[in-house]
Structure 1
Amino acid sequence: MPRFAANLTLMYPEHAFLDRFAAAAADGFTAVEYLFPYEWPVAELADRLRTHGLVQQLFNAPPGDWAAGDRGLACLPQRREEFRRGLVEQALPCARALGCRRLHLMAGVAPADIARDTLRATYLDNLAWAAQAAAADGVELLIEPINPRDMPGYFLNRQDEAHAIVQEVGAANLKVQMDLYHCQIVEGDVATKLRQYLPSGRVGHLQIAGVPERHEPDTGELNYPYLFDLIDALGWTQPIGCEYRPRAGTSAGLGWLRRAR
């Protein structure tokens, strides 16, 4: 059976953020992820992880001004230096303090007035630079195709394009974050995609949610028990991120997890 990481940005909204670590541990999770750690003292986050015996599986590098609509900076030529400062001055120090070995680098929303070839060239250049900067810390960098319904205009939407970019950059510590929710919305045929990409070694993290409402994985059109068996058969051993919005109380909605166990 796969192992799972609770996404504390979306799960346990009935608790204050710092109390979500205890709630996840009480429900049997051994790993957590969330979007951003930068709002809280990193020593406090590290203490919550230690106290509750949790592994920090993943978080995102600074995305720019989230409230103003930024969704990452990596493909934006006019914000190259901001992207690089955020990685070196914020994300990597946080990763060291939290013992986190994976960072997601958000590509950004593609501006209408900049050619896609220019954005792609910037993206590849920034990813190559970032992979080299993160290598000394043993940190794996991830890029994630995100569906355009949830994030209109996002630069990267498809699995095949993400894998082509990873291959073109050619850095051993650059991989794809494969969210099955986004994959189903954009492309479908999720089981075939898993069979195609997991054996490649280019997938660094998996995430799940029900489709289309992004609730628990026992709702919607994806057959997760079948997919969990397939993921096991393909040899995946890392915790899978549960990046979904609970329908009601988080703990009450974990019947899918109890059945999976």
Structure 2
Amino acid sequence: MYTLAVCAEMVFLDQPIEERARRIHDLGFQVEIWDWTRHDLAALERTGAAFSSMTGYVRGSLTDPDGAAELVRTAEESVRVAQRLGCPRLNLHGTGLDGEGLPVRPVTGPATGPMWIAAHRTLTRLAELGERTGTTFTLENLNTAVDHPGVPFATAADTMALVAAVDRPGLRMNLDLYHAQIGEGNLIDLVRRAHGQGLIGEIQVADVPGRREPGTGEIDHPAVARALAGLGYDGTVAMEAWASGDSALALERFRSAFTP
């Protein structure tokens, strides 16, 4: 059976991040965070929470040599923090995102051939770093229509192709079904294809529209949960969603949706 986690950046927003982590932990979930540089790491350690994922870089990009060098350098810093927090997965995107989720280095149009080659080389270096340190890097698909315009390698198809091409255990997909629903749809088939190729490191969920907890929009999350159970998926399913109202109730709706 898979493990459930909740992103502390998006729930219990009236409380400091360490208290959010403690509340999530006390409710029986693992905890995810984004940019570790914004948080008091000692306070997070004291929560006793099990941290399942965090952002795996501070700056950088997959598309050009300078951005790739910065991404790898800050990934090395992130690995040390992940080891301190006992966090097994470090999340990646095609380029660094600002506070609004927009790309620091946006790309206009589809990624070019040289960009694909640069991304493959950089992800291979990150996979090797993960294997040396006992950490798994996960490449997350995003949507460019609503939340993240201008991010390269954003679609689930792109992330799947890159992870499959690198073909190393230190790199897997963070298959975000919220973003995939907006960009591509056909979620259960997507899950089956990615799982069948052994590419999934984590699955993230939120409902569409609004990026709220399961049960507030159009996605049939219980059907996704049944498909995951049928596949024997035993990784992590994380709610990366804003609470539509009470945060504790949002977590219970998430738990209910993913208890097949």
C-alpha deviation, 1:36, in angstroms: 1.6
Superposed CA RMSD? 2.0
Matched, 1:161 2:149: no
Residue among 85, 92, 95 paired with 2:73: 85
Q: Tell me which residue corresponds to 2:113.
A: 117
Q: Tell me which residue corresponds to 1:67.
A: none
Give the secondary structure class of the aligned counterpart of 2:44: helix
Q: Tell me which residue corresponds to 2:25.
A: 25
Q: What is the rounded CA distance, in whole Å, between the counterparts of 1:104 and 1:118 in structure 2?
A: 23
Q: Tell me which residue corresponds to 2:7.
A: 7
Q: What is the rounded CA distance, in whole Å, between the counterparts of 1:203 and 1:239 in structure 2?
A: 10
Q: Tell me which residue corresponds to 2:93.
A: 106
Using a 3 Å threshold, how does the CA distance of structure 1 residues 101 and 254 change in structure 2: closer, same or farther?
Answer: closer
Question: What are the equivalent positions in structure 2 for 1:138-153 lying under 5 Å apart?
Answer: 138-148=134-144, 149-153=146-150
Matched, 1:58 2:53: yes
Letter aligned with residue 23 of structure 1: R
Q: What is the rounded CA distance, in whole Å, between the counterparts of 1:222 and 1:75 in structure 2?
A: 32
Q: What is the rounded CA distance, in whole Å, between the counterparts of 1:152 and 1:191 in structure 2?
A: 25
Matched, 1:74 2:23: no
The unaligned stretches of length 5 or more in structure 2 are 96-102
Percent identity between the two aligned chains: 25
Q: Tell me which residue corresponds to 1:211.
A: 208
The unaligned stretches of length 5 or more in structure 1 are 65-71
User: Do 2:127 and 2:171's aligned partners in 1 also have CA atoms closer than 8 Å?
Assistant: yes
Using a 3 Å threshold, how does the CA distance of structure 1 residues 252 and 123 change in structure 2: closer, same or farther?
Answer: same
User: Do 1:80 and 1:126's aligned partners in 2 also have CA atoms closer than 8 Å?
Assistant: yes
Q: What is the rounded CA distance, in whole Å, between the counterparts of 1:143 and 1:136 in structure 2?
A: 18
User: Do 2:127 and 2:170's aligned partners in 1 also have CA atoms closer than 8 Å?
Assistant: yes
Q: What is the rounded CA distance, in whole Å, between the counterparts of 2:247 and 2:218 in structure 1?
A: 20
User: Do 1:63 and 1:106's aligned partners in 2 also have CA atoms closer than 8 Å?
Assistant: no
C-alpha deviation, 1:160, in angstroms: 2.3
Using a 3 Å threshold, how does the CA distance of structure 1 residues 36 and 115 change in structure 2: closer, same or farther?
Answer: closer
* Range 209-218 or range 245-254, more displaced: 245-254
Q: What is the rounded CA distance, in whole Å, between the counterparts of 1:176 and 1:10 in structure 2?
A: 21
TM-score by length of 1: 0.88
Give the secondary structure class of the aligned counterpart of 2:174: strand
TM-score by length of 2: 0.88
Aligned length: 248
Q: Tell me which residue corresponds to 2:100.
A: none
Q: What is the rounded CA distance, in whole Å, between the counterparts of 2:86 and 2:245 in structure 1?
A: 32
Letter aligned with residue 86 of structure 2: G
* Range 17-26 or range 103-112, more displaced: 103-112
Q: Tell me which residue corresponds to 1:132.
A: 128
Letter aligned with residue 52 of structure 2: Q
